[in-house]
């Protein structure tokens, strides 16, 4: 059985980057993985801190996608690793959602986003599902009990 998630209000809502499971990473506190991820587009700038302090993950996403802000040159090369780092820290920090992730066994995990063909499966299911892939990688890391 494939596990689909998208809304934070669904059964596997804790898998969403919008779920309110904060964590510390890089010496700062982040309210959600979305806050961390979007802020990393502008490291060591005022933009980074503004996004970190955004009221909601939706606000953080909007700010991070604002192309009037200067996107780091290596973004395409580093975005997957940054997402992996944030998702791992989120599940290391919160035992209750770590248990939910580990309880998925070897099931495929898919972000059922109708609009995102990179992080999700897209409207027609042909997307890369990178967030689902990363969740499955993090599940393996947690299962082995090793963390970086």
- If pLDDT is split at 50, 70 and 90, which confidence band does 16 have? very high
CA 143 to each of CA 17, 89, 137: distance values in angstroms, whole numbers, following the listed order = 21, 14, 10
Domains of the chain, earliest start first? 3-144 (1.10.357.40)
Residues 6+ apart with CB under 8 A from 143: 102
Residue 55 has pLDDT above 50, yes or no: yes
CA distances from 4 to 58, 104, 119, 142 (A): 20, 11, 13, 20
Convert the pLDDT of each residue in 66-79 to its tens digit: 999 999 999 999 99
**What pTM does this model have?**
0.96
Q: 62: how many CB neighbours lie within 10 A of its CB?
A: 13
Q: Confidence band (pLDDT; 50, 70, 90) for 142? A: very high
Bigger pLDDT: 57 vs 148: 57
């Amino acid at each position: 059985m494939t596990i689909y998630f998208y809304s934070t209000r669904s059964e596997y809502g804790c898998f969403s980057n919008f779920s309110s499971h904060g964590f510390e990473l890089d010496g700062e506190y982040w309210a959600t993985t979305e806050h961390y991820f979007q802020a990393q587009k502008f490291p060591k700038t005022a933009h980074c801190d503004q996004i970190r302090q955004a009221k909601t993950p939706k606000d953080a996403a909007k700010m991070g996608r604002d192309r009037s802000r200067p996107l780091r040159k290596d973004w395409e090369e580093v975005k997957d690793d940054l997402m992996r780092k944030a998702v791992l820290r989120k599940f290391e920090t919160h035992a209750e959602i770590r248990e939910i992730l580990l309880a998925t066994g070897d099931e495929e995990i898919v972000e059922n986003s109708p609009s995102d063909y990179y992080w999700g499966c897209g409207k027609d299911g042909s997307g890369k599902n990178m967030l689902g892939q990363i969740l499955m990688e993090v599940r393996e890391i947690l299962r082995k009990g090793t963390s970086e």
